[in-house]
Amino acid sequence: MKYMLLKTYGPAANCDTPITEWTPEEIQAHLDFQRALGAELAKNGELVDAQGLAGPEDARLVSSDGRSAPVITDGPFPETKEFLAGYWIVDVDSPERALQIAAQASAAPGPGGQPIGERIEVRAVMGVPATDQ
């Protein structure tokens, strides 16, 4: 069963300090944690993909009616207080295992090495229904 675990950047349960205000050592510890989690999941054969995403200042919103030129809006989007910071796609034996991984990711270290308690959204990856041929 595949699940996508979505990491949102914004105030977390135990940390409302923006990462831009963390010390270089705190940022490094956080990144080291993310790499170690990815390595553990890969070793277990559970990791499909994991990526960090650029911030909203590099984001673009695109909409189209399919007939005329698309409308493209550049970031940054000042109204954005939270944004998608990254994701993991895992292939696990049960929904409970996906939730365990999300809990582990939520406890990533922040300022002072304390677990930040960020919210990780867990969503099943839907398969494409078979078509009759």
How does pLDDT run across 39-95, given as a tens digit for each residue?
999 999 999 999 999 888 888 889 999 999 999 988 666 666 678 889 999 999 999
Q: How confident is the model at residue 96 (pLDDT cuts 50, 70, 90)?
A: very high
Given a contact cutoff of 8 angstroms between Cβ atoms, the answer to whether 55 and 81 are in contact is no
**pLDDT over 80 (residue 129):** no
Which residues are within 8 A (CB) of 23 and not within 5 positions of it... i.e. 6 or more apart? 111
Tens-digit pLDDT profile for residues 101-110: 999 999 999 9
CA distance 51 to 54: 10
Tokens in use for 9?
């950047």
Instruction: With CA atoms as reference, report the closest residue to 104 among 59, 27, 47.
Output: 47
Residues in the chain: 133
